[in-house]
Chain A
Amino acid sequence: MWARFEPLLDSVERPARYLDSEWGVRVRPDSSYRVALVYPDTYELGMANQALAILYDILNRVEGVAAERCFVPWKDMALAMRREGVPLHTLETLVPLRECAFVGITLPHELTYTNVLETLDLAGIPVRSADRGEGDPLVIAGGPCAFNPEPVAAFLDAVLVGEGEEAVLELVEADRAVLVRGGSRAERLRALAGVPGVYVPSLYEPVRVEGAGTEVPGCGSVAPLEPSVPAIVAKRALRDLGSARPPTCPVVPYMDVVHDRAVVEVLRGCTRGCRFCQAGMVYRPVRERSADDVVRDVMATLRCTGHDEVSLVSLSTTDHSQIEEVLRRLARGLEGRAVSVSLPSLRADAFGVEMARLVSGGGKKAGLTFAPEAGTQRLRDVVNKNITEDDLLATIEHAFGAGWRRVKLYFMLGLPTETDEDIRGIGRLVNKVMEVARDNTPKDQRGGLRIGVSVSTFVPKPHTPFQWEPQLTLDEVLRRQEILRESMPRRGVDLSWHDPEVSFLEGALARGGRAVADVIEHAWRNGCVFDAWTEEFSLARWMAAFEAAGIDPVALASSARDPQAALPWDHIASGVSKRYLLEERGRALEGVTTKDCSFDGCTGCDACDDLGLDISLGGASRG
C-alpha cells in the first residue's frame, strides 16, 4: 500500500499529514480485531483531539486489538486517491478502513457531518447504514454531537453517548464475542445495543404523532422497534477520574498541529450552570483529578513526548480546588527548562489573573481571554453567567496593573430576551474596560494596548435550558451586528465576528431530526465538504440541499419550540432531567440566577442521582 500511496505525496500540500511513524505511534500488525479511529477533519485538527488520544491508548492495551488513526485527506489528496483508486486507509498499518472491524468516528461539531460521508465514501464503505453488508465494518460515532445523533443516525450503525473510557472496551468485547462465534451483522448490532450508553439507530423508528407535535416534518422523537432495546439511552460517565490513567505517551506530531503541546486533563464537567452551554449540562457532575495525579501526569507526559509546553485542560481549569498548588509545584519542577504551562480559559476574577501570573513566570505575557457573554447585568442573569461588571473591571485593573497589555472578550449575540439595549451594553462595557485598561497602563505603553472583541451568534443546543428557544434569523443577526458596530469604541478595539451563516447552519443541524440526513447527504453529493473551513463553506449549496430534501432550515433553527412537544433527542439522557431544564428556562425568563452546585449545594439537576455519581473535588467525593 505504501508503494501505491507514497507517489501521491509529491503532488499534495503538507505531506506530513499522511506520513505516520511519529514518536509514540502504536503499530500492532498481528492484532485480529482492528479499529480505525477517525477524526472527521484534517490531521492537524484531529491530532489535537484528546478523546481520540485517550481511546487510542486504551484500545491498544487490549490483547488482540489494534487501534489506528485516520483523518480526512485534504481535497488535493482525496482527488489523487480517487484518481489512482487508492482507498482511505489507517496511518499505522495502511489497512483500508473497509477491512477494519470497527470504524469509530468522533463528532466534535455539526460542521463535520459532510466529512463523515466523505470519509466513508473514500473508504469504499456505503454511506448509509442500511446499505452496508456483512463484510463492511461497524461505523460507530461518539463525541459531543452524540447527544443529538438523529441528523446523522442514518449513516451510523451505533452511537456511544458520553465518556468512552469504559464503554469502548465493553463495546469491543461485545462485538468480538459475536464475531468469534461467526455471528451476523444483525447480531453484532443487537450486541452493541446491549452495552449501556450505546444507541443503535436501526433498532428505533420515528414516532408518528397525530396532528401537531413537531415544527418540522421528520424531526420528531424516535422509539425502539422491539422491547429488548432501551427506550432511553443514558450517557456514560466515569465515577472516578483517578482510576482512569490518561495517556502520558501520546503520539507526537511532526506537523505544526493546532494546540501543538502536551495536554493533561485536570477535571471533567462544569457546574457554573451557564444556560446556553451544552458542555456544562451534558458532562455533569464535576469530577476533579487530585493535584498529585495532575503533577505526576504532567511530568510523565513531558518526559515521554519532549513537548515544550503543557496545557492543563478542562471546561474550567481555574475552578480546580487545588489549581494554585498544582501550578506552584509545576513551576518548581520545570524551572530552567524553557518549558511552559498554559491554561485554556480564565475566570474573570483576581484569582484567575493570579493563576495566569503564576503560569507566565514573569516572562512573556500572552493575551488574557475572558467571556462576559452579554453586555448587561440583566442579560447575564438570564443566561446565568455569574460575572458582574465590577468583577470584570476589577480583573482588568489587576491584569493591566500586573503588566498585561492585551485582553480578549467573548460575547454572544441573540441570547434569549436580548434587546437592542443589551447590545449597546456590549459597546458600553468594552468602553469601560478600555478606560480601566488605559488607567492602569503607563503612558508610554498605551499605544500597544489592544482589546479583542469576538462576537458569535447564539445557537440553541440540545440538552440545555435554551433548547426550545428560537435562533436569530440571518437578517436579524445582520441588523443587530450593525447596532453593535455603532456602539463599539473604535480605537484600540479589534472587533471580529463568527460567520453568522455558519452559525445558522449549525443551528439548523444541531436540533434536527432523522429526516435531516437527506439534507446532509444531498449537500455532500453536491460538493459540501470541510464546511468548518471558511473558504470551503457555501450556504447556497446547503440551502439547495434543504430545498431538495423538503426541509425548512429556518423552521428548524428559528421557530420557538413547544416545551410539551417531543424532541428528536428525547431518547438520549444526559443525566440532567428535562424537568430541571424547564425549571432553569423559567428562572432564565424571570432573570433569576442559579448557583454553582459544586460549592453552594445541590440545585436539583438530577445528574448525580440518574447516573449514580457524585461530585468529587480534589479526588475526594462529596455525596
Chain B
Amino acid sequence: MAERTTFRLRVRFGKLGRLRHLSHLEVMRALERSIRRADMPYAVTQGFSPHMKAAFGPALPVGTAGTHEYYDLWLRELVPAPEALARLVAATPEGLAPGAARYVPEKAPSLSAALTIARYDVGVSPAVGLDELVRAVEDVLAEAELTVQAKGKTKVFDLASVLPEEPRVESSEAGSTVAITTRMGATGSLRPEALIGRALESAGLPQAITTVTRTDLLMETEGGFRRPLE
C-alpha cells in the first residue's frame, strides 16, 4: 500500500498535580484516549495490529511531575494547529492538559533522539536549611563521579558530562529548590533525586526531598539549548 501523506503535529503537555503519580505507560494511554475523544483524524500504522501513529518524548518516572512534555501525532488531514490544540485541551484531563501545538517537518528527528537535555526542580523541605543544602550540593559536585544503584544495576555517572550546567540552590515558599540540568544519555539518565539524595546523605542531613518536577526538555544545538516547539 502506498504511504499516504501525513501531517506531524507536535504537542506540549504537562503531568501535574496528583497525576504525577502516573506511570509513563498510563500517561501515554490516557493521551491516546484524549486524541480519540478529540476526534483527531489520526493516522494508523500499517501491519498486523494497526494502532494510532504517535510518539512520545522521554519517560517520566512515577511520582515525577512535568511542565514541558511532548508528543508527536501523525494526522491524515491537516487540522489548523490552534483548532487542534483547542480540541485536545477540551478532551484531556486537566493534569495532562496540552499547552501548545505546532506542525513540525515530517523528516524532523524523533523526540526521543532530539531531546537530550532535561531541566528539573527538586523541592527540599524546610527540615534542611538553605545554607546546609548549598554546602551539601557543593560537596557532592566536588566528586568527579556519582555511583547509583537502581534495580540491581550499578551505574557510574561522569558528573562533568551529565551536568552541563551548575545546579542552583534557591529558597522557595516551601523550603528550598535545587534547579538541575542534566544531559540524558543512551545508557541511562541521572535522576535528579539520586544526586540530591546522595548530597543529603553524605552531609548527614535528612532525606527531605518533597517534589521532583521536570521543567524543560531541550534539544542541543550549536552554542546552546532549544525547545522543540521554538
Contacts and interface: CB of A to CB of B under 8 A. Distances in A.
A254 B63 CA distance: 14
Contact of B21 (A15, A336, A339, A364): A15
Interface in B61-82: 62-63
Chief secondary structure at chain B's binding surface: helix
B63 A10 contact: yes
A21 B18 contact: yes
A77 to B, nearest CB: 13
A304 interface: yes
B26 A23 contact: no
Contacts of A302: 36
Contacts of A303: 37, 39
Nearest to A20: B18
A255 B29 CA distance: 9
A478 interface: no
A21 B52 contact: no
Given A337-B44, A338-B51, A19 B37 contact: no
| Residue with the greatest number of chain B CB neighbours at <10 A, chosen from A9, A19, A22 | A19
B26 A16 contact: yes
Given A305-B33, A306-B34, A338-B52, A256 B39 contact: no
A6 interface: yes
Given A16-B22, A16-B26, A21-B93, A304 B37 contact: yes
Given A23-B93, A306-B37, A254 B26 contact: yes
Nearest to A306: B33
Interface residues of B, number: 31
Contacts of B18: 2, 6, 19-21
Contacts of B62: 15
Nearest to A19: B18
A307 interface: yes
B34 A364 contact: no
B28 to A, nearest CB: 10
A264 interface: no
- Interface range on chain A (Cβ under 8 Å from partner): 20 to 34
Interface in B1-54: 17-19, 21-23, 25-27, 29-30, 32-37, 39, 44-45, 48-52
Nearest to A339: B36
B25 A256 contact: yes
Contacts of B49: 363-364
Interface in A290-317: 302-308
Contact of A306 (B17, B23, B91): B91
Contact of B32 (A21, A306, A337, A363): A306
Nearest to A12: B21
A21 B51 contact: no
A581 to B, nearest CB: 46
B95 A21 contact: yes
B87 to A, nearest CB: 12
Interface in A176-196: none
Contacts of B34: 23, 306
A256 B28 CA distance: 12
B50 A363 contact: yes
A197 B214 CA distance: 55
CB-CB nearest 8 A-B residue pairs: A306-B33, A306-B36, A306-B37, A15-B21, A338-B50, A254-B26, A338-B44, A19-B18
Given A20-B18, A256-B25, A306-B32, 20 more contacts: A10-B63, A16-B23, A21-B93, A21-B95, A252-B33, A254-B19, A256-B26, A303-B39, A305-B37, A306-B37, A308-B32, A308-B33, A336-B44, A337-B36, A337-B44, A338-B45, A338-B51, A363-B48, A363-B49, A363-B50
Interface of A: 2, 6, 9-10, 15-16, 19-23, 252, 254-256, 302-308, 336-339, 363-364
8 contacts: A16-B22, A19-B22, A21-B19, A256-B25, A303-B37, A305-B33, A364-B48, A364-B49
Interface of B: 17-19, 21-23, 25-27, 29-30, 32-37, 39, 44-45, 48-52, 62-63, 91, 93-95
